Structure 1
Amino acid sequence: MSGPTRVDLYVDPVCPFAWLAFRWLLEVERARELDLHVRLMSLAVLNEGREGHTPEAEKGLDSAWRPVRVGTALVERRGEPVLRDYVWEFGHRFHDRGERGRDDVLRAVLAELDADDLYPAADSGGLDEIVRRVHHEGMDPVGDEVGTPVLHVEGTAFFGPVLGACPRGQEALDMFDGAVLLARNPLFYELKRSRSGGPNFD
């Protein structure tokens, strides 16, 4: 009898498409045995030096560095499983409920997790080496021309899926099976179409 399917989801908490992928996998997890690990990637690292992106140092409290630094500090203190709670609390507030700005959301999440004392990590570079290492563990297997989310399923890594909304029930399961089946084929590279609207968090 086979065991649970190992799934590593690499997310940046501020990315709406990473949030939808997380919610989708939670839906899949209701019906399938998943060994789901939530891990951090960093849009700040990903976009370093990319044309058209404002340097994170100029974004102040909205810098994408801040949530991943705090998430990394939480992992260093409590272990990787805490990231599920952290990403859930941040995403539910920031994406589902539309709370703004990022700093207020970050403070509220830390209060909810009883970790207010980790707030200074947001503006400290002390854990940036760990952020970069984990980011590259997730992103390097899929190359440089991708973003977030990234999934690793039983050793197969791929970018996406980029979802406009969270599929439910059998649709969520079908999408999971199809995505993994395509990604496991070494001849498959990419499916893509233009987005027709923004993300829907209902």
Structure 2
Amino acid sequence: MVCVTVVDMWFDPKCPWAWNASRWLLEVERVRPVEARFHVMSLWLLNKDREHLEDWYRTWLSDTLGPVRVLVAAEQKYGPAVLRDLYTEMGNRIHHDRTPIGPQLYGAALSSLDLAADLAEAATSDAHDEALLASHHAGLDPVGEDLGTPAIHIGQSAFFGPVVTPVPRGEAAGRLFDGMLLMVQTPGFYELKRGNRTSPKVD
């Protein structure tokens, strides 16, 4: 009997690094006994009380709350499993089609999965913010230091990353997972980092 490793990932749908990490995890599922489960966090929530944000980043964050609200509303109505496909539908539109974030994007993503159209209204409502906050903290509090997304939990290990571009495919995706698993299971291991990061190539 093959033992399946459950990997929980927290994402904000606008973040290109989270998008790449999520596509990598889906690739890992093809080559390793892994089950990826997706959860929502919010870069807007993470940064709302920070005083020293660069102007470009504050502008970039301005439309990020709506999509996570719609995702959480869908999760509340249909259960957590809906996030995998709804994230994919939103993410493809955001990162590949360059659809502006707003009602048209929400409506198209929901329609593609035959989900209730009125879930789009959650984007401008605080009705699900308590559930969003709970999901946000469940993902990020164990990571610490307000590190953001992608945030991944494997068993009792929680960490930020991987930050990767382009997305590894096939066995390359599996090898990255194998190495990451070895690192996070090493007591006292905290950080491995490379500077001079290039711009993300979304996949």
Give your verdict on TM over 0.5. Answer: yes
* 1-structure distance, mates of 2:20, 2:138: 22
* 2-structure distance, mates of 1:156, 1:83: 22
> What aligned pairs does 1:14-33 form with structure 2 within 5 A after superposition?
14-33=14-33
- Would you say 1:161 and 2:133 are equivalent positions? no
1:119 is aligned with what amino acid?
A
Report deviation, 1:194.
2.0
- Would you say 1:79 and 2:79 are equivalent positions? yes
Report deviation, 1:188.
0.9
* 1-structure distance, mates of 2:202, 2:41: 21
Q: Which residue of 2 aligns with 1:101?
A: 100
Q: Does the 8 Å CA contact 2:153/2:159 hold for their aligned counterparts?
A: yes
SS for the counterpart of 2:106 is helix
* 1-structure distance, mates of 2:36, 2:185: 18
Q: Which residue of 2 aligns with 1:177?
A: 178
SS for the counterpart of 1:141 is coil
Q: Does the 8 Å CA contact 1:19/1:91 hold for their aligned counterparts?
A: yes
> Which stretch shows the higher mean deviation, 191-200 or 21-30?
191-200
* 2-structure distance, mates of 1:18, 1:148: 6
1:154 is aligned with what amino acid?
G
Query: Is there any run of 5+ residues in structure 2 with no aligned partner, and where?
Result: none
Q: Please give the per-residue CA displacement for 1:109-129, whole angstroms capped at 9, x wherever unaligned.
A: 122223211111001011111
Q: Please give the per-residue CA displacement for 1:146-195, whole angstroms capped at 9, x wherever unaligned.
A: 12001111221111011121001111111101112111222111111224
Q: Does the 8 Å CA contact 1:67/1:106 hold for their aligned counterparts?
A: yes
Q: Please give the per-residue CA displacement for 1:97-139, whole angstroms capped at 9, x wherever unaligned.
A: 2423111322321222232111110010111111011111110
Q: How many residues align?
A: 199
* 2-structure distance, mates of 1:41, 1:89: 17
Alignment RMSD: 2.1
Query: Is there any run of 5+ residues in structure 1 with no aligned partner, and where?
Result: none
Q: Does the 8 Å CA contact 1:62/1:102 hold for their aligned counterparts?
A: no
